[in-house]
Structures are given as structure tokens and as C-alpha cells.
Amino acid sequence: MRIGYLRGFVIMVFACILSGGVPEGESNAPDRLRPKGSMAEILWVDSVFQSLSFDERLGQLFMVAAYSNKDERHVNEIRKLIKEENLGGLIFFQGGPNRQARLTNLYQAEAKTPLLIAMDAEWGLGMRFDSIPDYPKAMTLGAIQNDELIYQMGTEMARQFKELDMHINFGPVVDVNSNPDNPVIGYRAFGENPEEVAKKAVAYVKGLQDHGVIANAKHFPGHGDTEVDSHYDLPVIRHSRERIEKVDLYPYQRLFDENLKSVMVAHLNIPSLDGGSGRPTSLSKPVVTDLLQNEMNFEGLIFTDALNMRGVADLYAPGLVDVEALIAGNDVLLYSMNVPKAKEEIKKAIAEGRITEAEIDRRIKKILAAKYWAGLYDRRPIKTAKLMSRLYTPKTEALIEDLYAEAITVASNKSRLLPFKQLDMKRFASLTIGGSGDVFAQYLDKYASFTHYQIDKGEGATAHEEIKEKLAGNDVVIVGLMGITNSPRRDFGIRDSDVRLIEELSRSHQVITVLFGNAYSAQFFEGNEHLVLAYENNDFTQKLVPQILFGGRAGKGILPVTVSETFVQGIGGFMEPMRRLAFGSPESVGMSTEKLNKIDEVAEKMIRIQAAPGANVLVVKEGKVIFERSYGKLEYRSSPAVTSETVYDLASITKVLATTQAVMFLVSRGELDMSKTLGDYLPELKGTNKANLILSDVMAHEAGLKAFIPHYAKTVESGRWKSEYYSDAARPGYTRPVSNEMYAVDALRDSIWHWTVESDLEARPGGASKHRYRYSDLTMYFMQEVVERVVNQPLDAFLEQNFYSPLGLTTLTFNPADKIPLAQIAPTENDVVFRKRQIQGYVHDPGAAMYGGVAGHAGLFGKATDLAVMMQMMLNKGYYGDVNLMKPGVVSEFTKRQSTQSRRGWGWDKPEPEEDEGGSAGKLAPKSTFGHTGFTGTCVWADPENELIYIFLSNRVYPDGNNKKLLREGIRTEIHDLIYEAMVD
């Protein structure tokens, strides 16, 4: 090759001298036909060209199909073509990444001239591979308003192509799809507006080509308005040239102006472009040479569409069709059916003067120049180690998620029902028609209490009547229509009976129809007042649609095509979010999945050393749940696994997510004054040592209250319950559940209150005007009484009415045993001292249990996502969705450090003030962080500086409350610090 390189250089210089600087044979050629590129490129191209015989040079014109999922016979056929015909390139179809990588290395090693490796991957590698997720289809992308995201997609595609040593992507489709009945383009097009199609196509192409991969726009001159599939016949387009230039050619010209590297010519019959010859456009010189190259000044590679398609294959025999394509002006013969035969026919055509050898040589050099641009002058074998993890990274997934999120379109929202408001005023149900909607249901449940139903497509009248009866008690029905196809001839898979069912449900319910599939299917739902287009059906769209319906994300998509009189191109647009939680990936908020995965190791250690049998860890960043994982089981022995729906006893988190919330609510409304005393609100304290305790001191744990009082000790004797206090069955006078088959006398709460009021205070330090800091459960006994006296309502009822129900929280509750299935609730301690039984579904804390399960310091249960909502409401300064619970200034006041004696706020815990200590929080948490921990092995922390929430739920007290390993090993704080380490600079 080195000798050829030097010889080529000498020949080129000599030729330039003789011809005045223009290579021999091209002195009369227009500028676009003259050599371009750097001297290094020109030298490499000429060197390779000179090293080949004419027959070998002809091989460069051909690109044939290769598969990585076929047998050895296919592999040997490709190897033979490479060796004997010196193929120019391969287009890979079905298979898998590792298999293709190995074959590419094999084929390139046997090629005399490096092969251009291509893939028809309009929506990414997933279009051809069996193990890589897709990017959104073009019509989905057409709904996106932010074209920068499409550029990012092209960029990521290019990176993936480079990992597989691929050089050409046969995308994007830039056909303007103006015909809803188009059987071959449809969802593969960006839309029907030429300007929007052009903008999307430019972003896609630039993403690829700015990062070293040749893009290929197709199907020139425009396949958008056909009702015939050119794979099976030759479509005829009868539009005027003026119309074609205005609509179909417009995106191509925009791309040509942006230096598009290649284009594919379609098999179409367009009389207005070639004088009515009847020839396919791919074989038409007026189209390929006169229009594409001379008039539109396209200088890149020109590919035929596949030459085995019936649109041309029925007209010419193998070999002959290749010659016709070359004469028309194409550079690369794609999917040739017989390469040796085609070579012979090309030589014959040269001999007959139908095409010149110089013209063939020019195209071969053009192909070689493309190889140089793609880096084939210095190619290296593909590294197959960890290839899959390199191809599909967390950043790839985050990008796909963002693309789908920006595309989902609220096409109809006539009564402004969406996003949903007043969650406590509606009864919700979902109905999935025609497929699995498990992910859809899972994410609907994260926002409100739902009942879910599912039926097949096209069910009969009996099934539809049954489902209507089941749905009768609901206000809102969200219908997810699955099984939508891309076939206009089969009505996109829409069944008349299903349309009627939705219409009938709309008469008695507020119905939101979500189409998980082709947007053209919306034509059958013309009268729907609330219609959402997801464009595709996958885990991404099923996860994202509920977020938009409930205002976790904004609705941003624009319908890219007209499907009916109502649903026209351009409808949709911005629907405001409601500051509710969204769900996404760490990379979408600048965090690292790889670093967050280290939490798994800490959780596994926790289970291994039996610090807790299981746990839930949840992280929210910038209002988005970006990490939510469950570990272990409910018990150490064989038992159900922990899931995201597992409900835990929150212990002292009750202090901040129950009692403190109520106090903040009342302070915000001027019904409670933190500078007043307990005696001001509880007259019975007058004359006691508690009367003059100031609320701010009480909430800061500086009121002199004892840490706790073991009230249960007064109700047992010699290890047995006193009969005047407890009964093993509910009966008149004994109705307060303490545990299963254990009921307290109704007056027990009054007794506990009396014992608490009579308790001694801690002595003040000599000469001090205030008590020392001492963390106390008694704080919240008193604050619960204050709240209940002010609102004249039990604490749990007040919180349910004003907080938990309006926020759509389905598990944040007291006394869950009679509300939530026990199998969903993690057990706590095997109480051998007091209750003499395993505790599950009843509060672990003995004092709270004796109080009837509703106490200011303990008793609250919940799952991680419900806690996340409460903490996000705090970061939102008292707002969440359409609910305004407290004033921003009150949130700031309660969550700041309140004293020099401790790290505490009012009710809230905080990191230690010293720089190198975290206290109960991680050491890396900013000092503005606030939250709390719970005795059962729980914690919640919110960081307003970084908009970060961390939740850890476990039942470390199972089966023994004396198990201190979770605290001793610093499990919770270690995870907290790992979260900060996962923030990407």
C-alpha cells in the first residue's frame, strides 16, 4: 500500500501539471466533480484507487446485505463476495451487537479495501438488534418542539455506531408524509409540514455527521404521498413539479445546504419529473443527475434504494438494473442481487458507450473519499469486551426518556381537566384495552388511589356491560388503548366496539383516552374531550403519561400530522406542570447511575450482617424521583420481598410528617403562635410545671421534658397485663387496638395524658434561663394535644383531610392494619416484654400503641413515594400540585437551626453544625438540610440547596428492637453520602 500511496502522489502531481491543475479526464467537469478535501484525503484516495484492478474497483460500487443472526453458509457467502469481488460495503440487518462486532472484525480483516459498514437504523440500533432499546420513531420525534434533543439523539446514535465500527446510517426519513393512508412511510416520517420536517431532519443529520457518521436522507425525491408500498410495486405520484418542489424537495434542499453526506433515491414513478417516461426515479437520469445533482447541487454519495424491491426488480433482471442505476447517476448500488453479473453488465455498458470508464472511476473515488471521511484510512478492530454496556448507557436511557417525554401530546383537553386537580374529590379507575398496561397502572398508582381493569380488543357486548358495571362508582376513567398498529388498511388496529365503549363511558364519567400507538388512529376518536397521544407503546411512554396527566411533567408535544377535522397538525403544545413529583433517570438531573449503584453494596451488606431484613431507598433530585430500589425481604426467613409498595412503621418520622406538619399549617393561618405557652392552649395545665413552657422551646427540645416515659410499665405486673387495662378481645369499654387480639381500655389515653402532665422536668443548669437540649418524645405528646384542641379534631383525621388525601397519598396513615393488606406491611419487633407477640400493622412504639395508635411522636406508616411527596411539598415551600398547605416563610423558619445548644429546628432534625460532622445526616449534606430519623430504622432528609430528597425505610427492629447494627455501621448515613458523591460536576 505504501508503494501505491507514493505512486498515486506522483501520478496526481504529474497529471495536475499537464492539465493546469485539474486531474486528467475531468478538465471540463463542473466544480462539484473536481477533487475535494485535504491533501491527505486526496493522496489516500488516489493511493487506494491505484492499488486496485478495474474489476476490483467495480466492487466498490456495491453494498450488499449482511446478517449476524444467520448461519455459517451466509457468513461464507459474504466472505466470498468480499474476497472475490472486493465489495465496497455491507449493510447489516437483523442480529445482535456482539455477533455483528465479531463478524465486522472478520470481514474487515479479509477485505483488500476497507468496507463501508452501514445499517438501516432510522430509530437506532434497536431497529435491527434484538437486545438494544429503540429511540422514538420519526413521527414521535416530529411531535417534539425542542430540536436540540433530536441533535443529541443523532450524537448518541453516532457514538453507538462508532462503537460498532459502522460508518453510515440510512436515516433520517425526510419524506413529508401528507397521506394518512401511506402504507410504507407513515410513522417513519417526521410529519406533514415541510418546514418542521426540514428542521427535524437537519438536527438528526448534524448529530450524526458532527460526530463522524454519514447520514443518509431518504427517499428522494419524496415518498410521502403514496398509497402503494414500493417494496411490492411501483408507486405513481401525479403531483405537479411545482408542488413537489414546494413540499417534497424542500427538506432535501435544506439538508444539502447543511452538507448532507449521502442520499437514497426511491423507486417511484413521478411523471412530472422525467417527462412521463414511466421509469422509476432511481433509474431516471432526469431525476438522479439533472435534478438531484445539477439543479439541487448535491455533491454527496447517492445510493439506490434496495435493488431487490419489486418497484425495480420486476422491470429489470439482476445485473441489468444495476447498470440502469449507474447510468441514471447513482454512486452506490444497494442490495444488488447478483454482484458478479452486475460487474459483467457494467463492463458491457462501457464497451457499448452507454457509460464511460472515467465516469465509473469518478464515482469510485467519490466512494473512497467517503471512506476516508469516515475514518477508514485508520480503522482498528472493534473491542468486544463490555460492548453492550458501552452501547446502551444510563445517558442513552435518559435521552430516550427525555425524547418521549417531550413528544407526548395532549391533543384534547376541553374542560381543562388535565392535569388533575383536587385529588381527594375524585375516584379514579384505569381501563387498559388490548394489551398489558402494568407499567401504566404502576405509575398511575404513584399519584392517586386507583382500581385497574383490563380487557382485550374488540370484546363483545357482554364483556363491555360487565366492565361498565365495575367502573360505575368512579368519577374518572383513564383508558389506555394498546395494540394500535401502523396499518392504515386495517384502521390501525382500532375496533369499532372499543370506540363505542369509550363513547358510552364518556356519558357517565370523565374519560381520558390515551392512544399508545400511531397518531393517525386518533381519527377514530374525533369526539373525545380528553385525548392524549403517546405515539408508541413501551415502558417509557407508559411511565411518562401518568406523570403528564397528574402534572409531574409538562405536556409539550405538538401533533405533527393532520388526522381528522379536529385533530390537525399543530395542536397540542404546552400544558403546565403542577409541581408534583416526576420520575426519571439520574442522568436526566446530572447524577451518575454508576455511582448510585454503590448503594446496592451497602444494602447488601446491611442484609448480610442482619442490620435489617430489607429496605427501600428513594432519591429525589429537582422534583424527580431518580432512584427507587427495594432490597431484601420483609423478614430474614423465607418471606415476601420488599417492593416499592411496602409500607413501613415510620416511628419518629411521625414527629415531622404528622404533628409538625399540623403545627406549621396552623402557624401559617395565624391559629397558633410559637411564642405562646402550652398553658395558653391547654388550660388544664395551669398550675402545673408545664403551663409556662413556650411552644418554640418545646418544639426545639429545650423545654426540660424528659426523653420518654415507659408508660406501659404501669399497666403490667410480673410480666402480665393488668386486667383493668387490657382485653384480648374487643368489648364495650375496651375498643382501642394495641395489637392484634389486644385492646386497651378506652380511658387509657386519658391516663397516659395525666401521667405525662404529672412528670417532672429536667433541672436547669445553675443560673441558666433555659433548659438544656434534650431530645424528647414528650414534645409531641403535648403538641398533639395543642393541635387537636385548636382544630377540634383528632390528629389523624385532621391530617387525612388536609394533607394526605388532598396530596393523593394512599398509604400515609395511622393504624394501617384495618386499611392495608398485612402482606404489604413490614413487621417490626417480636415484643416479648409488653405485648407478647409479633407486631405487624400496629405501631411499634408502646406509648403510641397505648394511645390508640395515633400519637404525636409515633404511629404513622407509609411507603417511600408517599414520604417523598411530603418532603417535596416542603422543598416547594408548602405547595404541591394545587394544594397550598403553608406559607414559605413558615417552612423556612421551622427548618432552620433554632438554637446554639443543638442542631435542631422546630420539630425538624438537621446536620451537626460542625463542618466535619453529619450527625444523623450524611457528612456531605449541607447544613441547610432538614429531616428526621426513626427508631424502627427509617430516615427522611431534604436538602433545599441541591433540591435533593433522601428516604430510607427499613424494619431494623425485626425481630429484636435491641439490634443496633444499622446505627453502629452507619448504613443510613453512608448511603446519604453516596448520593452526594453521585452528583456529576
Burial class (CB in 10 A: 0-12, 13-18, 19+), 53: exposed
Beta strands 716-717; 720-721: pairing state: antiparallel
Q: How confident is the model at residue 232 (pLDDT cuts 50, 70, 90)?
A: confident
How far is the CA of 290 from the CAs of 296, 364, 630, in angstroms?
9, 20, 64
Average pLDDT over residues 902-912: 97
Cell 375498643 sits on residue:
735
Cell 459483467 maps to which residue?
344
State the DSSP H helix or E strand holding residue 883, giving kind and residue range, or none if neither: strand 883-884
Give the separation between CA 299 and CA 327, rounded to whole angstroms.
17
Q: Kindly tell me if the per-residue pLDDT of 4 is higher than 60.
A: no
Which residue from 492, 467, 485 is spatially nearest to 477, judged by alpha carbons? 467
Buried b / exposed e across 431-466, counting CB within 10 Å, b at 16+? bbbbbebebbbbbbbbbbbbebbbbebebeeeebee
Position 760 confidence tier, pLDDT thresholds 50, 70, 90: very high
Contact (CB, 8 A) for 812 and 861: yes
For 970, residues 6+ apart whose C-beta sits below 8 A from its C-beta are none
Cβ-defined contacts of 337-343 (< 8 Å, 24+): 337/307, 337/308, 337/313, 339/59, 339/62, 339/64, 339/81, 339/85, 339/87, 340/84, 340/85, 342/62, 342/318, 343/55, 343/58, 343/59, 343/85
| pLDDT(230) > 80 | no
Q: What is the pLDDT of residue 226?
A: 84
**How far from the centroid of its chain's Cα atoms is residue 565's Cα?**
32
Is 51:386 a contact under the CB 8 Å cutoff?
no
- Write down the residue that cell numbers 410495486 correspond to: 233
pLDDT for residue 199 is more than 50: yes
3-state secondary structure of 364: helix
What pLDDT score does 36 carry?
A: 66
3-state class (DSSP) for residue 850: helix
Q: Please compute the mean of the pLDDT values over residues 354-367 and round it to a whole number.
A: 97
Give per-residue pLDDT as tens, 327-358: 999 999 999 999 999 999 999 999 999 999 99
Question: What is residue 531's predicted lDDT score, i.e. its pLDDT?
Answer: 98
What percent of the chain clears pLDDT 90, i.e. is strictly above it? 90
Mean pLDDT value of segment 665-675: 98
Rounded to an integer, the average pLDDT of 662-687 is 98
Rounded CA-CA distance 931/652 in Å is 11
- Minimum mean pLDDT among 11-25, 253-267, 395-409, 470-484: which range? 11-25
CA distances for 500 relative to 140, 492, 511, angstroms: 27, 16, 13
pLDDT at 56 over 50: yes
Sheet architecture: strand order including 813-814: 648-649, 860-862, 813-814
Better-predicted residue by pLDDT, 6 or 679: 679
Nearest Cα to Cα of residue 939 among 917, 923, 919, 954:
954
> What integer best gives the mean pLDDT of the chain?
94
Residues in the chain: 985
Residues β-bridged to residue 169? 119, 215
Set of cell numbers at residue 768? 441558666
State yes or no: cis peptide before 219, omega within 30 of 0: yes
Res 572: pLDDT: 97
Tell me the three cell numbers of residue 456: 382485550
pLDDT for residue 25 is more than 90: no
Least confident of 232-246, 729-743, 838-852: 232-246
State which H helix or E strand residue 126 sits in. Answer: none
Residue 361 has pLDDT above 80, yes or no: yes
Preceding amide of 419 cis, omega within 30:
yes
Residue 606 has pLDDT above 90, yes or no: yes
| Region 11-15 average pLDDT | 42
Q: DSSP states of 463-516 as a string?
A: HHHHHHHHHTT-SEEEEEE----S-GGGGGG--HHHHHHHHHHHTTSEEEEEE-
pLDDT at 21 over 60: no
**CA 187 remoteness from chain centre:** 21
Cα separation, 952 vs 38, in Å, equals: 60
Question: Could you tell me how far CA 804 lies from the centroid of its own chain?
Answer: 27
> Vertex 464, ends 459 and 467: CA angle to 5°?
125
Band (pLDDT 50/70/90 cuts) for residue 228 is confident
255-281 mean pLDDT: 94
Q: What angle do CA 513, 515, 516 make, to 5 degrees?
A: 135
C-alpha–C-alpha distance, residues 405 and 401, integer Å: 6
- 264: pLDDT strictly greater than 50: yes
Mean pLDDT within 507-523: 97
pLDDT of amino acid 768: 83
Q: What is the mean pLDDT of residues 795-819?
A: 97
Query: What pLDDT is stored for residue 13 in this prediction?
Result: 43
Mean pLDDT score, 860-887: 98
Q: What is the mean pLDDT of residues 473-480?
A: 97
Judging by beta carbons within 10 Å of its beta carbon (0-12, 13-18, 19+), is residue 892 exposed, middle or buried?
Answer: middle
pLDDT at 233: 78
pLDDT in tens, 155-175: 999 999 999 999 999 999 999
- Identify the band that residue 837 occupies on the pLDDT scale cut at 50, 70 and 90: very high
Whether the per-residue pLDDT at 503 is higher than 90: the answer is: yes
Question: Cβ contacts of residue 416 below 8 Å, gap of 6+?
Answer: none
Residue-level pLDDT at 182: 85
Query: Which residue has cell 413515594?
Result: 865
Q: How high is the pLDDT of residue 276?
A: 86
Cβ contact 494:433 at 8 Å: no
